[in-house]
Amino acid sequence: MTASSVEIFQDIPFDFEREAFDRRIQLEQFPACREAVDSLLEGARKRVRPKAALRVTFVDNRDGACLELAGVRFESRVLAHNLAEVERVFPYLATCGSELEDLLEDGQDILASFWLDVFKEMALEAAVGHLRTILRERFALRGFSSMNPGSGDRNVWPISQQRPLFSLFEGADQAIGVRLTDSFLMVPNKTVSGLFFPTEVPFESCQLCTRADCPRRRAPYQGEVSQGHPPVGHPSQGRPQSLHP
C-alpha cells in the first residue's frame, strides 16, 4: 500500500460468537423469542460480509485548527492538536456490509430490527478489528488512536467533515457498499469512518463529550481540568507523542 492508494478488504473473517450475541440482546429474559432469533441469524449469517477500506497519507500545511491530508483540507481544533507531531495517518472506512440491508421484510417488529442491528454491530467490530490488526502487523504500530467526524460533542470534529474525508477514498466507499447521505450519515447504519493515528497517549472523542447517558461511551468525560492535569485532546495539554516504528 502506498500513500496514493486505497486498499479494499472485502473478505474479512467474521467469527460470530453466539453466546456474546445472546448476552447483548438479553435473550435469557425472553426465552419465547429464541426461535425467532434463530431464524433471523440463519439468514444473517449466510449473507454477512463485513468490509473495509484503508489509506495511508501524510499531514501537510498545518495552519492553526486546519490541516491537509493528500491536498484535502480539514478543520478541527482537536484533530489538529492530536496530529500536531504526527506525520503519517490512516483514513479508514469499516462496515457491516450492505448485504444485510434488505434481510427484514417491511413491517417486521422493532425487536427483530434490534436483533439485526446487534448482529450488524458485531460484524462492524470484526471489520474494525481487521484494520487494527493490519496497523499492528503491517505497519508495526505499537499504539494508535482514532478520531471520527461527528463523534463526541459537535465541536470536536464536526460531522460535516465526513464529506472531505470520503473524498480521500477515491470511490472505495462505493466498492464496499457505503453511501454518505446529504445529512452526512452513512448507509449501512453500522458503518464507521475516521482516521487512525499513532500515539503513545490513547484518545477517545468520548473524553470531550458531555453526553452523560451515551450507551456507547468508551472513556469518561475529561473536558474539565482535573487536579491541574488537562484531558487528552485538550488544547492546554502537551501534544501526543508519535511513534516511529
Mean pLDDT of the region 25-35: 97
Residue 110 CB neighbour total at 10 angstroms: 7
The full DSSP string for 31-84 is GGGHHHHHHHHHHHHHH---EEEEE-EEEEEEETTEEEETTEEEE-HHHHHHTT
Per-residue pLDDT reduced to its tens digit, 141-151 = 989 999 999 98
Per-residue pLDDT reduced to its tens digit, 172-193 = 999 999 999 999 999 999 999 9
Per-residue pLDDT reduced to its tens digit, 48-73 = 999 999 999 999 999 999 999 999 99
Q: What share of the chain is helix, strand, coil (3-state, %, to 5)?
A: 35, 20, 45
Whether residue 236 has pLDDT greater than 90? no
6-208 maps to CATH 2.60.120.10: no
Q: What percent of the chain has pLDDT over 70?
A: 80
Whether residue 164 has pLDDT greater than 60? yes
Average pLDDT, the chain: 86
- Rounded to two decimals, what is the model's pTM? 0.83
Q: Grid coordinates representing 59?
A: 499531514
pLDDT at residue 213, as a whole number: 64
Domain boundaries, the chain: 6-208
- Cell 475516521 locates to 194
Whether residue 199 has pLDDT greater than 70? yes
Cis amide leading into 235 (omega within 30) = no
Per-residue pLDDT reduced to its tens digit, 201-221 = 655 555 555 556 655 545 565
- Cell 473524553 locates to 207
pLDDT at residue 105, as a whole number: 80
Whether residue 165 has pLDDT greater than 90? yes
Whether residue 234 has pLDDT greater than 60? no
163 Cβ contact list (under 8 Å, min separation 6): 180, 184
pLDDT at residue 38, as a whole number: 98
pLDDT at residue 135, as a whole number: 97
Question: Which span out of 30-39, 153-162, 230-239 was modeled with the highest average pLDDT?
Answer: 30-39
